[in-house]
Amino acid sequence: METKAPIPRAILVGIQVPGVDDVAHAASLEELRRLLKTLGYEVVGTISQKRAGVGGATVLGKGRLQDLAAITGGPGVVGSMAVARKSKAREHFEDADEKKSEAPQIEPDPDMPKPQFVVVDHEISPTQARNLERATGAQVLDRTGVIVEIFHRHARSREAKLQVEIARLKYVSPRLRESSGGDARQQGAGAGESDLELDRRKIRDRLAELNEQLKEIQRDNEQRRYARRDQLRVALVGYTNAGKSSLMRALTGSEVLVADKLFATLDTTVRALQPQTQPRVLISDTVGFIKKLPHDLVASFRSTLDEALEASLLLFVVDASDPTYESQLEVTRNALREIGAEVVPSRLLLNKIDRVSDVDRAALRAKHPDAILLSAKSPEDVAVLRETIVEFFEAAMVEDEFVLPYAKQALLGEVYENARVLSEDYDATGRIMKVRGLPGAIARLRRTLADS
């Protein structure tokens, strides 16, 4: 009989820096808790502290570090490898800073197994992670490492796997140098140093190989996007777990993955709006965003996000039931500004409205009068959204008329795919077609007829 592997237990560490209020700080820690739940970890407690920043050698002040060590079973001090002594002024400043902490002390439960992981709600340096591990006796992860691991587990397509491996190697590389470099420096030139250099070269070579493979895939993607350039394209964008995949399924009838997990979707999926329109409207579901999303992951998924840049309409999907939805929306907007997608026409969708009270719903309408309030679970709401999408494209369409010669009837399918045929007639020269479509699509059809 198989025995289940024990669930990893973790304790969270949060630093509340100036400019971050209590609500935002609590929301960030709760989000980290959900990230760890996605990985299958059990969060057993939180250590939180108000500090001027996260640049200290051990992230926490010495008092809170000892509180943390009491829970994890560590010594509470870094030991002989501690960084250089601080000045008395600096120590006084940090002590005063520590006294401002409002987090209650956590009493360790002697009957419970000690947490094996300490997870910091910030990106920390390899040196800070090593110091925390010495002081706590636990394995230390930071927010970036948690997100990278989730991406690694959830990647399905070849492109996503390549992108995630690139980000993962870039994350691991400095930590590999830091952990191995200390031994190499003590030993001097020799086997340790050679091993470290070998590891570095392996990572560089692997990154070069991955980037070359990724370029090939991206070239294919660019060709596909070019072929769709005159089609009607909508991109769903938003914070992770805002309900984009649920809306994708509701709008297109596709069997895309829907899961109550952060970053359940990493691959861009493109499907036609259902019931189908003439011409077709293509809907794409994109990777979600999150606060403090590692820069290397944003860079790696740039080609995926190009779906948003090249769309005709962006639908910003927001979880209206989340009290921090406004900051989540701003995270999404900022990420799209980075790739220049802020110029693309957009509509705001306040999703999961079925979880919102009538009073809060009225407040949302007053605050966002142009937004669409809906639930992806409601067929009526989805039907209204579908009509909104169709009306958006209808407003930009023009009518035209041309003759499709009898010798070129093979092009009839292309006409129907890129425009709506309003009427057809026949004369001695061919099929007379009155059509309606986007100006770019009409112009391309005319060029195709002239060239073929």
Rounded mean pLDDT of 430-448? 90
List Cα–Cα distances, 367 to 325, 348, 376, in angstroms. 13, 12, 21
Question: Can you tell me whether residue 41 is helix, strand or coil?
Answer: coil
Residue 104's pLDDT band, with cuts at 50, 70 and 90, is: very low
More confident residue, 102 or 61: 61
Are 204 and 235 found together in one domain? no
State the CATH number of the domain containing residue 72: 3.40.50.11060
Q: What is the pLDDT of residue 173?
A: 84
Beta bridge partners of 431: 404, 426
- Pair (236, 349) in one structural domain: yes
Tell me whether residue 2 is in a domain: no
Rg (CA), the chain: 27
Do residues 259 and 386 share a domain?
yes
Query: Which of 150, 176, 207 is the last residue before a domain boundary?
Result: 150
Tokens 């470290």 — which residue? 196
Distance CA 345, CA 268 (A): 20
Q: Are residues 199 and 165 in the same domain?
A: yes
Task: Label residue 373 by pLDDT band (50, 70, 90).
Answer: very high
CATH of the domain at 251: 3.40.50.300
Query: What token pair was written down for 407?
Result: 């010798």
- At residue 129, the pLDDT reads 92
Phi-psi label, residue 430: left if phi above 0, alpha if psi -120 to 50, beta otherwise: left
pLDDT grade for 209, boundaries at 50, 70 and 90: very high
pLDDT value, residue 259:
52
Compare 10 and 55 and report the one with higher pLDDT.
Answer: 10
CA within 13 Å, CB half, 302: 13
271 and 330 in one domain?
Answer: yes
In this structure, is residue 348 part of a structural domain? Answer: yes
Q: Provide the edge-to-edge strand list for the sheet that holds 313-319.
A: 269-272, 281-285, 232-238, 313-319, 346-351, 372-373
- Tens digit of each residue's pLDDT (9 = 90 or more) over 148-192: 888 888 777 788 788 889 888 988 888 765 444 444 444 444 444
Same domain, 119 and 168: no
Number of separate domains in the chain: 4
Per-position b or e across 193-205, b if 16+ CB within 10 A of its CB: beebeeeeeebee
331 plus 249 within the same structural domain? yes
In-domain check, residue 208: yes
Q: Last residue of some domain: 150, 178, 194?
A: 150
Does residue 300 or residue 192 have the better pLDDT? 300
Please check the confidence at residue 101 and state whether its pLDDT lies above 60.
no
Domain that holds residue 132: 9-150
CA distance 126 to 281: 48
Same domain, yes or no: 196 and 317: no
Q: Output the pTM of the full model.
A: 0.77
Whether residue 3 lies inside any domain: the answer is no
Residue 99: band (very low, low, confident or very high) from pLDDT cuts 50, 70, 90: very low
Computed from CA positions of residues 19, 24, 26, 32, in that sequence, does the dihedral angle turn out positive or negative? negative
Q: Are residues 243 and 350 in the same domain?
A: yes
Q: Which of 224, 258, 277 is the last residue of a domain?
A: 224
Per-residue pLDDT at 270? 83
- Summarize pLDDT for 384-420 with one digit per residue, the tens: 999 999 999 999 999 999 999 999 988 998 898 888 9
Stretch among 70-79, 192-201, 308-317 having the lowest mean pLDDT: 192-201
Q: Does residue 90 carry a pLDDT above 70?
A: no
Whether 286 is covered by a domain: the verdict is yes
| 257-292 confidence digits (pLDDT tens) | 545 555 655 567 788 999 988 888 999 887 788 887
Does residue 96 carry a pLDDT above 50? Answer: no
Taking the mean position of all CA atoms in its chain, how far away is CA 387?
28
Contact 199, 271 (CB under 8 A): no
In a domain, 117, yes or no: yes
185 and 130 share one domain: no
Q: Are residue 129 and residue 205 in the same domain, yes or no? A: no
Same domain, 112 and 193: no
Separation of alpha carbons 160 and 31, rounded Å = 23
Read off the pLDDT of residues 230-253 as tens digits, 9 standing for 90 and up. 678 999 999 988 998 899 999 998
Average pLDDT of 344-371?
Answer: 95
CA dihedral angle for residue 231, residue 232, residue 238, residue 240, rounded to 10 degrees: -60
